[in-house]
Amino acid sequence: MAEQDIKVKFFNLSPDEVWRIYLTNGPDGVLAAAPPLLRFLMKSSNVFNQLIPSDPRCIWCHAPFHGLGAPLMKALGRGQSSFNPSICRDCENMVRTYHGGAEVETAILFADIRGSTTLAEKIPPAEFRGLIDRFFRASTDVLIRANGFIDKLIGDEVTAFFVPGMAGHHYARHALHAGLEILRATGHEDPEGPWIPVGVGIHYGVAYVGAVGSQDGSSDLTILGDAANTAARLASQAKAGEVLISSSLAAAAELDTRDLTARRLELKGRSEPVDTFSLTVAPRAG
């Protein structure tokens, strides 16, 4: 019997049902669905992890990545994942072996470096690599603090999604705040200009979130569907220093849009235009 089948039998639920519970209701929902013994073991582990300093932590099991608890977590196989900085290695293994997923409402964020090709032509490769590393570190720090799940770090782009099971009831608002914080973290509040130009796109809609398998039996956690594609298109249209959000994200975040710049955009691959709003961060006083 496959490992994932054994784990599912502990819950007496299908993999997709377990994923849906987690994505919409978080660890408490999964605990409520678990049999008594498994519920006790899972809860004890999470409580133990939460008692050990310090933040940031695995978004699933709360294992600390920094501070006094980090060496212990590494020894227990719960050090920070190299696959995804939002989770620990043990939870990464669960994703890679436990196929499943669900269609859920989610807020999806893409952050792109503007003009990276031109920038790469102007500076030495090693310097460009250092700049990309700094962008990834700054962006992931913001997203982890906002309880977003980092989907991909690729090229000059960071992708993350926010669902209620991870980011709470106001997950769309957290996504919006994270987009603005990424601009601040990359220096767009600096009167002299950012240390790297970044544009952000955020969309709200139904997407498939789950583990997608490959031929060798391993899985990666990803987000798929039209909502993800729309978020990517918004990011490609965002100017440096701009967070471009869809009207559906604005509504989900309960954002007052009366003073915002509205734009109706024709996005590649979409038959209908998308209504958007533009947000920026004001430069600090010099």
Structure confidence by residue, pLDDT tens digits, 66-84: 887 888 888 888 888 866 7
The neighbouring-strand residues paired with 278 are: 244, 261
Q: Let me know whether 81 and 113 are in one domain.
A: no
**CA–CA dist 272, 149 (Å, integer):** 29
| Domains of the chain: total | 2
Nearest to 60 by CA among 34, 32, 85, 37: 85
267 and 194 together in one domain? yes
Q: Are residues 88 and 188 in the same domain?
A: no
In sequence order, which residues have a C-beta less than 8 Å from that of residue 55 and are 6 or more positions away?
A: 64, 66, 67
In-domain check, residue 284: no
pLDDT at residue number 248: 97
Does residue 285 lie in a domain region?
no
| Regions in the chain scoring below 50 on pLDDT | 1-7, 215
| 39 within some domain | yes
Task: Say yes or no: 154 and 246 in one domain.
Answer: yes
Is residue 286 situated within a structural domain? no
User: Residue 109: beta bridge partners?
Assistant: 160, 202
Residues 84 and 130 in one domain: no
CATH number of the domain bearing residue 132: 3.30.70.1230
Specify the pLDDT at position 230.
94
The confidence score (pLDDT) of residue 96 equals: 65
What's the domain range around 23? 3-98
In a shared domain, residues 37 and 168: no
Residues 105 and 229 in one domain: yes
Instruction: Give the H or E element holding residue 265.
Output: strand 261-265
Same domain? For 52 and 141 the reply is: no
Tell me the C-alpha to C-alpha distance, in Å, between residue 20 and each of 15, 91, 92, 128. 9, 17, 18, 40
| Pair 145, 77 in one domain | no
Same domain, 195 and 88: no
Q: Are residues 106 and 200 in the same domain?
A: yes
Whether 120 and 48 map to the same domain: the answer is no
Boundary (domain end) residue, out of 36, 64, 98: 98
Two structure tokens written together for 234: 């918004």
User: In the chain, what is the straight-line distance between the N-terminal and C-terminal CA atoms, in Å?
Assistant: 65
The residue among 98, 129, 155 that closes a domain is 98
In this prediction, residue 215 carries a pLDDT of: 47
Q: Identify the bridge partners of residue 212 per DSSP, sorted by sequence position.
A: 220
Q: What is the pLDDT, as a whole number, of residue 216?
A: 57
